[in-house]
């Protein structure tokens, strides 16, 4: 095997294209590393782990919200877009973190939440103070209620977290919140909102960030004309292709064209990636170079463990990116879904199977944990070999499982509360990371952790896996190093394969073969550079990926 400890130079693309084939590591700051011992991760914690991230070999870090927040939705309820939550640090800590990451050659992407503020945001407080018919209310979506005394919500719209999407205020008006009531939706028909967000983008651009992850990018533009349209189920919007009153409306792209002009004020231009849960045929609009430039593709994250499904998704996405000239994106886990090591350990493997398992109690004994990690590793090597950008979620490099059986009293996710305790929510993938094998908090901080960590975190910890041959952490380290060396133009050639195998080659003769079937597959010529699990000579076992050099 070639020596993968050697540090090849970072991506060969010109600086303004750094994002096209980057490996971006998502940090969920409250659960990453706690430097001040209050049980909540913080920015100094991130700074203290820059060495780890550099050694892992990531190109960029995407930081989930770190802004002041009451945490009604894990920080996606922002009180002030130009500050740091005092529990997480200060703006000076932010600058020091960016400097340390940049010093290690790692770019920084921050999360921006433009669909809604928090209900503690100065704008919303003013909107309540000033009362109906005020300019302050025009920044949000306030309406009179229906019925003789206005006691019925203005429409039947449902919140994504359950329950009505409208909340009544003391003077009788109602405001729209597509997520929690603590997240009032902004009114993007108001030029003041546009102005404010352009300014916020510049605030972080001037502080040196390299780009943005745009939350609910498909939700900003809404049809609010009277009478309000019926929208029985917000989830149906994904299939409606631009005809939904709330999701994925064509005029949302006018906003991103404005943002692009702001991005281009910087050299290199700021990058952006859209979180847009839209029909795959509509994703490209968000990734347009005149708009945000890149969009998450969540297709593999939702797919079952099946070679035909994987092949179809990869082909379609690579075709789609040809249309706009963006690069493709690959995601297996993030802070909103059951971790992929657990998904692949469940019968059915897809996102739906994972949601059902969670709803039924998320019990670890119902997961084939070994198979889950085996498949997770194979899937990871597969996406890392694809042309385009890979987004990794903190802890997946440890093969971490979902903590599905958190005690109910520990749960904090609004879905748990607003679904009448039927949907367990997303806390199980947000449990603070295990850095060492010892309680309390497995090296996350000096004391406790804000969500309870299970005993099995000891064996999954960084300490247990670092320098341990065959560990998932070592596989990620080797893969990221090799990928940097092997990465070439964003091209892929499909190789002849049987039904259960995904086999493609990249320029320079880098081959990736994944066996998603149940019987062993013979590997043809080429040196094995890396594999996600042990090989039997040149036999590739089920649930395994191998990278090979030119055949």
Q: Which spans of this chain sit near ligand NOJ (rule: CB under 6 A)? A: 73-74, 76, 113, 179, 215-216, 275, 335-336
Q: Element (H or E) spanning 329, and its range?
A: strand 329-331
Give the Cα separation of 299 and 429 in Å (integer). Answer: 19
Give the other-Cβ count within 10 Å of 370's Cβ: 11
Name the token pair of 419: 């679904």
Kindly provide the residue ranges of all beta strands, DSSP E only, lying in 435-517, ordered along the sequence. 493-494, 501-506, 510-515
Q: Element (H or E) spanning 142, and its range?
A: strand 142-143
213 φ/ψ sector (left φ>0, alpha ψ -120 to 50, else beta): beta
- Show the CA angle centred on residue 264, arms to residues 263 and 267, nearest 5°: 100
Contact 61, 109 (CB under 8 A): yes
In whole angstroms, the minimum distance from the beta carbon of 301 to ligand NOJ comes to 12
Which CB atom, from 178 or from 383, has the smaller least distance to ligand NOJ? 178
Contact 376, 305 (CB under 8 A): no
Which CB atom, from 49 or from 430, has the smaller least distance to ligand NOJ? 430
Which CB atom, from 213 or from 503, has the smaller least distance to ligand NOJ? 213
In whole angstroms, the minimum distance from the beta carbon of 215 to ligand NOJ comes to 5
Cα–Cα distances in angstroms (integers) from residue 459 to residues 362, 400, 401, 446, 454, in the given order? 20, 10, 12, 19, 11
Which CB atom, from 149 or from 233, has the smaller least distance to ligand NOJ? 233
Of 144, 254, 265, 347, the active-site residue reads: 265
Which CB atom, from 158 or from 335, has the smaller least distance to ligand NOJ? 335
Residues 52-65 as b or e (16 or more Cβ within 10 Å = b): ebbebbbbbbbbbb
In whole angstroms, the minimum distance from the beta carbon of 413 to ligand NOJ comes to 8
Of 79, 111, 210, 215, the active-site residue reads: 215
In whole angstroms, the minimum distance from the beta carbon of 112 to ligand NOJ comes to 11
DSSP letters along 343-387, please? HTTSTT-SHHHHHHHHHTT--GGGS-HHHHHHHHHHHHHHHHHSS
In whole angstroms, the minimum distance from the beta carbon of 421 to ligand NOJ comes to 18
Q: What is the CA radius of gyration of the chain?
A: 23
In whole angstroms, the minimum distance from the beta carbon of 504 to ligand NOJ comes to 30
> In sequence order, what are the beta bridge partners of 108?
61
In whole angstroms, the minimum distance from the beta carbon of 213 to ligand NOJ comes to 9
Nearest-CB residue to ligand NOJ? 76
Q: Which residue has the tokens 């995601």?
A: 331
In whole angstroms, the minimum distance from the beta carbon of 113 to ligand NOJ comes to 6
- Active site (annotated) includes residue 265: yes
Which CB atom, from 165 or from 521, has the smaller least distance to ligand NOJ? 165
Which CB atom, from 335 or from 450, has the smaller least distance to ligand NOJ? 335
Strands 544-548 and 528-531: what pairing? Answer: antiparallel
Contact 56, 306 (CB under 8 A): no
Q: Helix %, strand %, coil % for the chain, to 5? A: 35, 15, 55
Which CB atom, from 275 or from 543, has the smaller least distance to ligand NOJ? 275
DSSP letters along 266-320, please? SSSPPEEEE-----GGGHHHHT-TTTTS-B---HHHH--S-HHHHHHHHHHHHHH
Which CB atom, from 113 or from 278, has the smaller least distance to ligand NOJ? 113
Contact 296, 389 (CB under 8 A): no
In whole angstroms, the minimum distance from the beta carbon of 76 to ligand NOJ comes to 3
Q: Where in the sequence numbering do the catalytic residues fall? A: 215, 265
């Amino acid at each position: 095997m070639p020596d993968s400890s050697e540090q090849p130079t970072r991506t060969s693309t010109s600086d303004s294209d750094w994002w096209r084939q980057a490996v971006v590591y998502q940090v969920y700051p409250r659960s990453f590393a706690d430097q001040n011992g209050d049980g909540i991760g913080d920015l100094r914690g991130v700074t203290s782990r820059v060495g780890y991230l550099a050694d892992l070999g990531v190109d960029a870090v995407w930081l989930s919200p770190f802004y002041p927040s009451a945490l009604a939705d894990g920080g996606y309820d922002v009180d002030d877009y130009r500050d740091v939550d005092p529990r997480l640090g200060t703006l000076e800590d932010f600058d020091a973190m960016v400097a340390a990451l940049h010093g290690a050659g790692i770019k920084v992407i921050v999360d921006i939440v433009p669909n809604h503020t928090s209900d503690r945001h100065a704008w919303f407080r003013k909107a309540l103070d000033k009362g109906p018919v005020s300019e302050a209310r025009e920044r949000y979506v306030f309406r009179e209620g229906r019925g003789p005394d206005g006691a019925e919500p203005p429409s039947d719209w449902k919140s994504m977290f359950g329950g009505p999407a409208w909340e009544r205020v003391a003077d009788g008006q109602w405001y729209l919140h597509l997520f929690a009531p603590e997240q009032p939706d902004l009114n993007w028909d108001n030029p003041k909102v546009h102005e404010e967000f352009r300014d916020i983008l510049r605030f972080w651009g001037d502080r040196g960030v390299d780009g943005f992850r745009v939350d609910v990018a498909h939700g900003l533009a809404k049809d609010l004309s009277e009478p309000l349209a019926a929208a029985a189920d917000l989830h149906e919007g994904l299939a409606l292709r631009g005809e939904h009153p709330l999701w994925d409306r064509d005029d949302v792209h006018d906003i991103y064209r404005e943002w692009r002009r702001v991005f281009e004020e910087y050299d290199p231009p700021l990058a952006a990636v859209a979180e847009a849960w839209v029909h795959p045929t509509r994703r490209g609009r968000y990734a347009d170079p005149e708009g945000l430039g890149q969009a998450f593709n969540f297709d593999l994250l939702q797919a079952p463990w099946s070679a035909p499904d994987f092949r179809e998704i990869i082909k379609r996405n690579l075709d789609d990116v040809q249309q706009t000239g963006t690069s493709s994106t690959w995601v297996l886990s993030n802070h909103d879904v059951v971790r992929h090591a657990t998904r692949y350990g469940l019968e059915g493997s897809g996102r739906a199977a994972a949601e059902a398992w969670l709803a039924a109690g998320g019990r670890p004994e119902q997961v084939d944990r070994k198979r889950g990690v085996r498949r997770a590793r194979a899937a990871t090597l597969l996406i890392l070999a694809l042309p385009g950008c890979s987004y990794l979620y903190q802890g997946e490099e440890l093969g971490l499982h979902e903590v599905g059986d958190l005690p109910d009293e520990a749960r904090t996710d609004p879905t748990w509360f607003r679904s009448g305790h039927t949907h367990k929510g997303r806390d199980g993938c947000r449990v603070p990371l295990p850095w060492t094998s010892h309680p309390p908090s497995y090296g996350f901080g000096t004391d406790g952790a804000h969500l309870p960590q299970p005993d099995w975190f000891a064996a999954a910890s960084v300490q247990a896996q670092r320098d341990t041959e065959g560990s998932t952490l070592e596989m990620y380290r080797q893969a990221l190093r090799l990928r940097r060396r092997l990465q070439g133009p964003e091209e892929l050639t499909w190789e002849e394969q049987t039904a259960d195998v995904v086999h493609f080659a990249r320029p320079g003769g880098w081959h990736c073969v994944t066996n998603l079937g149940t019987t062993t597959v013979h590997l043809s010529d080429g040196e094995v550079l890396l594999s996600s699990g042990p090989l039997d000579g040149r036999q590739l076992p089920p649930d395994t990926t191998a990278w090979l050099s030119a055949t």
